[in-house]
Amino acid sequence: MNTGLMDRFIDEYRPGANLKKPDKELLDFGEKMLPGEILSLWKDYGLGEYGKLWRLFSN
């Protein structure tokens, strides 16, 4: 996993105040479909708004 890439992403697209951690079912699904960097982002910060203009995923 490219942690430098994730650090740059977080610096550029600051996590919003209302992020929500995904449940186990979504994480299990994501493990089959998504890169590890996305899963780490979800696990560490949650789902929701990142930066002023970019929305990663929102419930």
Which pLDDT score is estimated for 27?
Answer: 96
**Distance of alpha carbon 55 from alpha carbon 30, whole angstroms:** 17
Contact criterion met (CB below 8 Å) for 28 and 12:
no
pLDDT for 6 = 84
Q: Where are the alpha helices (DSSP H) in 1-59?
A: 3-12, 24-33, 36-44
Residue extents of the structural domains in the chain? 3-57
Q: What is the pLDDT of residue 51?
A: 80
- Which residue type occupies 17? A
pLDDT of 42: 92
Q: Name the stretches of the chain with pLDDT < 50.
A: 58-59
What is the C-alpha separation between 18 and 58, in angstroms, rounded?
10
